[in-house]
Amino acid sequence: MLLFEGGKQYMPPRFKLMDTYEKIESRMKDAMKQKDSLKLSVLRMAIAAIRNTEIVKKVKKLEDPDVLQVLQKMIKEHKESIAQFEKGGRPDLVEKEARELEILQEYVPKEMSEEELMSIVKIIVQESGFTLKADAGKVMKIVMEKVKGKADGKIVNKIVLSLLKT
């Protein structure tokens, strides 16, 4: 709901959209009230990781893209842990990590499908004129800027290498 004051539009405080960090804090409070220990634990870890990043970057509050980057790093770590636990034959830990992963994925944009990535990479390869595998790094840089936060770098790399010639 936009209001007008002095000829300018503004959004009253109660209607402002929450950024990702505020959503996490709000849902953490809800988890406390509901006594959901798993969700509470995961969200506390996320907040701690975000605050650590704020300290490292020496900023008072991270912008939303930076928060999403921290969450994506945590998601990647959880995926790697799941793979290691499966390799080690620990189904109990695989299940716990998978539930934690689901909770974290609620706060990041949905990843793009391989078909969507393939079309984006094809367009970028055509527009940029890169054709050799030696140019893969240059193409990767352009693609990752375009799909920032919505695609796994390993999948993008595989698609880029499949489209470029040796």
Say how far apart CA 84 and CA 117 lie, in whole Å.
27
Instruction: Give the model's pLDDT for residue 78.
Output: 95
Say how far apart CA 26 and CA 53 lie, in whole Å.
20
Residues 61, 136, single domain; the answer is no
Q: What is the CA radius of gyration of the chain?
A: 20
Beta strand spans in 6-93 (E)? 8-10
Instruction: Give the model's pLDDT for residue 58.
Output: 92
pLDDT of residue 99 exceeding 70? yes
Q: Each residue of 79-93: pLDDT tens digit?
A: 999 999 999 999 999
Q: Residue 129 is part of which domain span?
A: 114-163
Q: Each residue of 5-26: pLDDT tens digit?
A: 555 655 555 555 678 889 999 9
Instruction: Give the model's pLDDT for residue 34.
Output: 95
| Tokens, residue 65 | 């893209």
- Assign residue 133 the CATH number of its domain: 1.10.10.410
Instruction: For residue 9, tell me if it sits in a domain.
Output: no
Based on the number of CB atoms within 10 Å of its own CB, is 49 exposed (0-12), middle (13-18) or buried (19 or more)? middle
Instruction: For residue 152, tell me if it sits in a domain.
Output: yes
The total number of structural domains that make up the chain: 2
Q: Each residue of 136-152: pLDDT tens digit?
A: 888 888 888 888 777 87
Q: Each residue of 23-59: pLDDT tens digit?
A: 999 999 999 999 999 999 999 999 999 999 999 999 9
- Assign residue 47 the CATH number of its domain: 1.10.1510.10
| Tokens, residue 24 | 């996490």
